[in-house]
Chain A
Amino acid sequence: ETGVTQTPRHLVMGMTNKKSLKCEQHLGHNAMYWYKQSAKKPLELMFVYNFKEQTENNSVPSRFSPECPNSSHLFLHLHTLQPEDSALYLCASSQFPLRGNEQFFGPGTRLTVL
């Protein structure tokens, strides 16, 4: 295990549902990330939190809402998603600001939007 856990591992939701993805890191890192992974495409960075403060929002639609209550936990709140949002959502953590420091990834949540 990498020290980064994600729940749930699989999620199926309708377009009108509201759900949340949870990530927890046990590595003592101070930075956490949300990525979207779609088939045959590069990992897309969605949000970055450093010391619990959001420092990056890569033009992500407002139907995705992140929350970082402390440096060990990260949530991604989902509402009124579209079928094209179906993907693997990965959480990662690292020690900032050591550039080049390894990002440790969780196993991801496989999201299907019907």
Chain B
Amino acid sequence: QQQVKQSPQSLIVQKGGISIINCAYENTAFDYFPWYQQFPGKGPALLIAIRPDVSEKKEGRFTISFNKSAKQFSLHIMDSQPGDSATYFCAAWSNDYKLSFGAGTTVTVRA
């Protein structure tokens, strides 16, 4: 059973545009939500993370929006650049120390 559902599977955005990736979960034991970025030939690397008592977190051009009541969270990439082309995974930590990942979104930024 997939615990974290991620969409879309892929997206294409023009340089300077906004990329939006959405994730949803059901498990109320989840209490910390990281996003990972993976470039071809590399392992995933932590990009940004949020706790459920915060509705938004911004780091540079990357913003997480969190809706606890809806059990949804999203990643916004503002002013998308070709170097942002990668696969993005949302994830969720549960209170029994398990990390569950979404299926990933491949973002392609066209110059």
Contact = CB atoms under 8 A, between A and B. Distances in A.
Interface of A: 2, 4, 40-43, 45, 56, 90, 92, 96-97, 99-100, 102-108
Interface string B2-45: 10101001000000000000000000000110100000011111
A42 B45 contact: no
Nearest to B9: A40
Contact of A42 (B31, B32, B41, B100): B100
B95 A42 contact: no
Interface residues on B, range: 20 to 34
B43 A42 contact: no
Interface of B: 2, 4, 6, 9, 31-32, 34, 41-46, 49, 51, 89, 93, 95, 97-104
B89 to A, nearest CB: 7
A40 B31 CA distance: 25
A104 to B, nearest CB: 8
Nearest to A55: B97
B2 A42 contact: yes
A99 B100 CA distance: 13
Residue from the set A43, A97, A100 with the largest chain B CB neighbour count within 10 Å: A43
27 contacts: A2-B45, A4-B43, A40-B9, A42-B6, A42-B101, A42-B102, A42-B104, A43-B44, A43-B89, A90-B44, A92-B43, A97-B97, A99-B31, A99-B32, A99-B93, A100-B31, A100-B32, A100-B34, A100-B51, A100-B93, A102-B46, A103-B46, A104-B45, A105-B44, A105-B45, A106-B43, A107-B43
Contacts of B6: 42
A102 B44 contact: no
A51 to B, nearest CB: 13
